[in-house]
Structure 1
Amino acid sequence: MDPRTSAQDMMQCDLCETAVVQMHCDTCLVNLCKACVGEHFSADLSKPHKIVHFKNKNKSTLIHPRCTSHEEETCKMFCTHCDVPICTICLASDQHLGHKRARILEIRDKKRDKLVKEQTELKEKIYPNYQVIATDVQNRMSQLEKEYGDLSTAITKHGEDWHREIDKLVKKLKAEVDEMKNTQLQNLQKHLDEINKTMSDIKDEINSVDSVLESTDISSLFSVPSTLDRYTNLPRKITVSIPKFTPKKLQADQLFSLKTISLKSDEHDDSMKTTQKSLEAGSSPPVKQLLDEPETVTTIDTGYTGTFNGLYNVACLSDEEIWTRGNSNTMNLYSINQGSLLKSIRTKSGKTPGDIAVSKSGDLVYTHHWDRTVNIVKKEKIEELIRLQNWKPRGVCSTFSDDLLVTMESDDDKQSKVVRYSGSTEKQTIQFDDKGKPLYSSGLFNTYYITENRNLDICVSDSGANAVVVVNQAGKLRFGYTGHTPAPKNKPFSPRVITTDSQSHILTADCNNECVHIIDQDGQFLRYIDCGLSNPWVLCVDTNDNLFVAHGNRQVKKIKYLQ
């Protein structure tokens, strides 16, 4: 049996062909026994023979790529212009004349360094982030199971308090709950499967790059594409809302109601609705406590000046950008961090807008009482959404279900009301209480700012009544807030712009007492915020519960008031 071709025999020295191989010449690529090493050196003194132990021969020998133009030659250089390895014959030819060239080992080192850097980011940053998100989704699923269990228990307990004729309704509602739960779990499981698949792909990429990094084959380095950009955009964080069970002592077919559920990602326009019932605002947020001393984080100079061109509205587009409007026909978008003007939008009519708001899809919405319209700005083009007859729009806000709530007053200034719109379609009118009395005051110079709370209550600041009027989603009066004593300036409560935060707090600017009132969702006073501004008029809250307060001059203050 030939000892050099048989895997069952020990390999023998290429020189003496009798002794067992122990050494290897990397220069000549021959196997040697120890006794023949000296003879191999003396046979050709013109070469710098590199003798290594036979078991280390593959680890010490770099395998240079073969030239694609000259198959017998190996490539020691690299043409950066053509992005190909080249041999000495190519180097001497006119093919790469004038091109920038480099040693192939230098190019290999750069490529290797890049792969090592990307490998490190995949291992230490991206993959761990995926792990955290996957764990979060699993925890949410566990919490979902618990909360849906509690919900089913509450429905069953309430059903036992009624007569047999409602048993069928109870079963129906529980089936709806199970359907909602299964739908949400399926969506979350799908999201988790996608995350796990991506994590598996990342591990495969890591293992693949590990193999290449351990290989001495330079060609394999050039064949590895960069995949880092594919994974740098982390999966969206899913927010799950739980339906709210509301028992009602009414007719048998109205004993129960379920507010809807929704599964929303952090990105715009990515809401996955699981039922056609009315939307709940979202899952319960983390509990935050009020700071003992609110902190002014930054002050933004908007450039508005003077009594007649002061700052009269602000609306957060994001945590980094804020819309403003003064007493002119222009609405301006500012960078919060840089304090710089990003863009300006002129009203379609050329006259001063009323209130401004930002829709769920991030579009600017503004009212215009001069021509009785509500308008939306999409891609810097103004579209008329609503045109009223005999009524003038005042305040506007966007709801969690992407409806618009608009406060308005009659042309003769003797009536006021709130109307809900889906697009341009009127869905609901809120004007009177259970006794037929007006919920809101009326008057020529009254202001009616509006917002929706997380529990879907509708909150209006009514300057004519010096009150905050809060109704539930159905338009039933819940409470009215008329201020707290002692007031900072001992003056009457004078509410202006109103907003809410993640804790369902209701915040309204009080221009008389130069402060902001914070009350809970049931109308209980919590505290004042001294915003340090004269005659504060407008405010808004971003997604991180930072408060932005402004008044007639050019400044907008960003205030942290929650832990």
Structure 2
Amino acid sequence: MTKYMIRDKQHTSSKKKVQCPNREFTREIIHRDTEELENKILPNYEEISKDLENKIANLDGQYKKLTTDISNQREEFHKEIDAIFDKVELEMIGIKEQHSIRELLDEPELLETINTGYKKLCNVAYFDDEGIWTSGDTGIIRCFNIQGVPQKTINTKGNDWPRDLVGDKNGALLYSEWLSRTVNKVQNDQTEVIITLQGWHPLNLCVSTSGDLLVTMHSDDKSKAKVVRYSGSTVKQTIQFDDEGQSLYSGNSFFKYISENRNLDICVADWKAGAVVVVNQAGQLRFRYTGHPSPTKNMPFEPRGITTDSQSCILTVSGKNHCIHILDTDGQFLRYIDNCDLKDLWGLCVDSIDSLFVCEYYTGNVKKIKYLK
């Protein structure tokens, strides 16, 4: 019994002596592996990680550049496509006009007189479904049907009197307020501000064939004037100077009524400059019309309202001479309308069949005139 116990103790002691070197060896391996991990593998991993992060960052930059390039290319494609469709549309208009040339009447005819109730009447705009919208020197805009029956009344947003009003392609009414520097839209009896200017005041309005809004405006100090084209509330084009860097329009706060012709020319009646200023779609000056000599029209030519018709004629008001000038598309004088007992004329427009509506400032009357055969 004792013999076996002694042998067992010897065996146990011997076993412990064998295990000690194994633990030391394991410790050494772990230590060596740890050093290799810290000194070689981890730095390599960190370097690989940084390189990967840099590649990802560069990829983000390249992606943003690619996205910008695609966006710019899309915009260029849209411009080219718009230009193609504009050209096709002009060609179709030209073909249509060749088959629908209408001559001027020997004597224009007064068809109707609509009393609007304004003491000072400035603006008239034709709407297909509703008739005509009118405004004067108050914050009230009135709608009349073609028979002259009042249909609707709108109060301007800031109670300022509208410098101009026009209908857009969606049937909304647009008007400008000088004091608040805004252009407003009225649709479904709701009014919203669509443009707010800084450093400028809006004057007169025109909706182009493409649906863009053209706005004449003057600077706060009244030393500069320009035409700005908007798509919604985004500026697409500014027209201010000719090819020699001279101002196209006189710098003051007086009305500058505007109309787009069928050939996409932009026509501005620059009241105080005594001229109708016509530029092409790109904003390049085509001509200035400064009146037509007449022994019976001896007051200065100061054009106020302006419009264009289906024949590409330009019609503009000479208020002090109580008449309307009709010009062809190149600015050549064709004739006067001066036989309908017209007095102190201001704004004017034509309807879809070229009936003319013109405002008499002091009488508050809108006169409907037939001038084409």
Whether these two folds match at TM > 0.5 is: yes
Among 295, 301, 304, which residue is 2:109 paired with?
Answer: 295
Structure 1 residue aligned with 2:240: 431
AA at the equivalent of 1:391: W
Is the 2:130–2:143 contact (alpha carbons within 8 Å) kept by the matching residues of 1? no
Structure 2 Cα separation of the partners of residues 280 and 415 of structure 1 = 37
**Structure 1 residue aligned with 2:159, among 317, 339, 350?**
350
Residue 316 of structure 2 corresponds to residue 500 of structure 1: no
**CA offsets per residue over residues 281-317 of structure 1, 9 Å max, x none?**
6752311000000001111121223xxxx11100001
1:319 positional shift:
7.2
| Superposed displacement of residue 260, structure 1 | 3.9
Aligned positions of 1:138-537 closer than 5 A:
259-261=86-88, 284-285=96-97, 286-305=100-119, 310-318=120-128, 321-337=131-147, 339-444=148-253, 446-486=254-294, 488-530=296-338, 531-537=340-346
User: What is the CA RMSD across the aligned residues, in angstroms?
Assistant: 2.0
Gaps of 5+ in 1: 1-179, 181-242, 245-256, 263-277
Greater relative contact order (CA < 8 Å, ≥ 6 in sequence) = 2
Q: Which amino acid aligns with 1:327?
A: D
Distance in 2, Cα, partners of 1:548 & 1:477: 28
Q: CA deviation at 1:261?
A: 3.5
Percent identity, aligned pairs only, is 53
Matched AA of 2:346 = W
Whether the aligned pair in 2 keeps the contact of 1:390 and 1:410 (CA below 8 Å) is: yes
Distance 2:154 2:167 in 1: 14
One-letter amino acid matched to 1:299: T
**Separation in 2, partners of 1:318, 1:259:** 24
Distance 1:395 1:282, change over 3 A: farther
Cα deviation for residue 376 of structure 1 reads: 0.8
8 Å contact from structure 1 (residues 311, 551) kept in 2 = yes
In the alignment, is the contact (CA less than 8 A) between 2:160 and 2:178 conserved in 1?
no
Measure, in 2, the Cα distance between the counterparts of 1:503 and 1:326: 29
Tell me how far 1:320 sits from its aligned partner. Answer: 6.1
Structure 1 counterpart of 2:351, from 517, 536, 542: 542
- Once residues 96 and 256 of structure 2 are traced to their aligned partners in structure 1, the CA distance between those partners, rounded to angstroms, is 29
User: Helix, strand or coil: the match of 1:521?
Assistant: coil
**Structure 1: how far apart are the matches of 2:153 and 2:127?**
14
Report the secondary structure of 1:383's partner residue: strand
8 Å CA contact 1:280, 1:455 repeated in 2? no
Could you say if the C-alpha distance between residues 512 and 365 of structure 1 is closer, same or farther in structure 2, counting changes exceeding 3 Å?
Answer: same
Contact 1:495–1:508, Cα closer than 8 Å, also in 2 = yes
Q: Kindly report which structure 2 residues correspond to 1:35-54, keeping only aligned pairs within 5 A, or say none.
A: none
Say how many residue pairs are matched: 289
Q: How does 1:51-130 map to 2 (within 5 A)?
A: none
Question: Which residue is 1:169 aligned to?
Answer: none
Equivalent position amino acid for 1:503 in 2: Q
Q: Describe the superposition over 1:452-505 as per-residue Cα deviations: whole angstroms up to 9, x where unpaired.
A: 000000000001100000000000000000000115331111100100000000
Q: Give TM-score, length-normalised by structure 1.
A: 0.50
Q: Could you tell me which amino acid in structure 2 is paired with residue 323 of structure 1?
A: W
Q: Which has the higher strand share?
A: 2
Contact in 2 for aligned 1:314/1:324 (Cα 8 Å): yes
Q: Deviations over 1:169-200 (max 9, x none)?
A: xxxxxxxxxxx9xxxxxxxxxxxxxxxxxxxx
Mapped partners of 2:169, 2:295: distance in 1: 35
State the match for 2:38 in structure 1: none
Give the Cα separation in 2 of the matches to 1:376 and 1:404: 12
- For the Cα contact (< 8 Å) 1:281–1:456, is it kept in 2? no
Taking structure 2 as the reference length, what is the TM-score of the superposition?
Answer: 0.74
Q: Indicate conservation of the 8 Å contact 1:495/1:510, yes or no.
A: yes
Residue type matched to 1:495 in 2? P
SS in 2 for 1:284: helix
* SS in structure 1 at match of 2:222: coil
Deviations 1:382-436 (A, max 9, x none): 1111000000000101011010000000000000000000010000000000000
- Cα 1:501/1:291, change in 2 over 3 Å: same
Check 1:451–1:525 CA distance in 2 against 1; reply closer, same or farther (3 A cut).
Answer: same
Whether the 8 Å contact between 1:319 and 1:542 is mirrored in structure 2 is: no
Q: Could you tell me whether the CA contact under 8 Å between 1:353 and 1:367 is conserved in 2? A: yes
Mapped to 2, the partners of 1:443 and 1:558 lie a distance apart of 31
Distance 1:543 1:440 in 2: 30
Structure 1: which amino acid aligns with 2:238? T
Q: Cα 1:416–1:280, aligned 2, differ >3 Å: closer, same or farther?
A: farther
CA deviation digits over 1:119-167, x for unaligned, max 9?
xxxxxxxxxxxxxxxxxxxxxxxxxxxxxxxxxxxxxxxxxxxxxxxxx
Match of 1:556 among 360, 366, 372: 366
Cα separation, partners in 2 of 1:413 and 1:557, compared to 1, 3 Å: same
Offset at residue 512 of structure 1 (A): 1.4
8 Å CA contact 1:398–1:404 kept in 2: the answer is: yes
Q: 1:474 is aligned with what amino acid? A: A
- What do residues 21-48 of structure 1 show as CA deviations (whole Å, max 9, x unaligned)? xxxxxxxxxxxxxxxxxxxxxxxxxxxx
